[in-house]
Amino acid sequence: MDPLRLCLALGPAAVYLLLIGAVNLSRRPLLVSGVRDGAALGLAVSGFMIVGPIELFLPEAAAIHYEAFVWILLFALYGLCLALVLLLLRPRLIVYNISADQVRPILAELVEHLDDDARWAGDTLVLPRLGIQLHVDYLAAMRNVSLTSVGSRQSHAGWRHLELALRDALGRVEVARNPRGATFVSAGVLIFATLVLAVARDPQAVTRALFDLLLP
């Protein structure tokens, strides 16, 4: 693979690894919605899509007619497909850099103020007044907790209310740094160093590959 395509494929992934590493090395947990988490992951793999399926199935007739502008149309198509996937996702909240043992009491105390009729059944929580049913999942390897909706009848307004209240509660929580964060940061830095060396070794190849990509 030429240096340009290598940068396109691995560059966004390296940025994603650095961001995940920075979050895990922080002393504060980070709460994101499922839509934002999915969007970040979609951007992280966008480079692989460009040098993979998008370039492989590039319509030659459109490339000849629109030349370099065909890539704008293809990026727009990818963005629309990603937006459609995000809109179809079930409501979900992800708390990075925190353990389930830390989230559970915070969530239990919070729901007492949000809904007097809240009920726990193992790791499943029902908040009837907010129109929410969720399951608490914990990924030990990444040290994050997911609050995933259960069932199709969910109130998006209720989930938004829960997100704002939980974000406010987590803002007062301090956690230990996750040692795995250093692994993610190291991987991101290593990828960036590899890309810089690849470009510096043969900058003319990058220019040629750029013209071949934009003007097939």
As a whole number, the mean pLDDT across the chain is 87
Count of beta carbons in the 10 Å neighbourhood of residue 97: 25
CATH of the domain at 130: 3.30.310.180
Per-residue pLDDT for 63 more than 70? no
In this structure, the answer to whether residues 169 and 183 fall within a common structural domain is no
In this structure, the answer to whether residues 69 and 168 fall within a common structural domain is no
In this structure, the answer to whether residues 20 and 61 fall within a common structural domain is yes
Structural domain range at position 167 = 91-175
In this structure, the answer to whether residues 81 and 125 fall within a common structural domain is no
Residue of 81, 85, 95 whose CA lies nearest to 33: 95
pLDDT tens readout for residues 86-100: 998 899 999 999 988
In this structure, the answer to whether residues 150 and 183 fall within a common structural domain is no
119-149 burial: b if 16+ Cβ within 10 Å, else e:
eeeeeebbbeebbbbbbbebeeebbbbbbbb
Task: Please work out, in degrees rounded to the nearest 5, the angle formed at the alpha carbon of residue 96 by the alpha carbons of 92 and 97.
Answer: 155
In this structure, the answer to whether residues 71 and 135 fall within a common structural domain is no
Number of domain units in the chain:
2
In this structure, the answer to whether residues 158 and 199 fall within a common structural domain is no
In this structure, the answer to whether residues 97 and 85 fall within a common structural domain is no
pLDDT tens readout for residues 152-181: 788 889 999 999 999 999 988 888 888 889
In this structure, the answer to whether residues 114 and 79 fall within a common structural domain is no
How far apart, in Å, are the Cα atoms of 156 and each of 14, 83, 132, 164, 197?
33, 17, 9, 12, 47
pLDDT tier at 214, thresholds 50, 70, 90: low
pLDDT tier at 68, thresholds 50, 70, 90: confident
In this structure, the answer to whether residues 23 and 4 fall within a common structural domain is yes
Q: What is the pLDDT of residue 159?
A: 92
In this structure, the answer to whether residues 84 and 186 fall within a common structural domain is yes
pLDDT tens readout for residues 116-145: 888 888 889 999 989 999 999 988 778 899
In this structure, the answer to whether residues 124 and 20 fall within a common structural domain is no
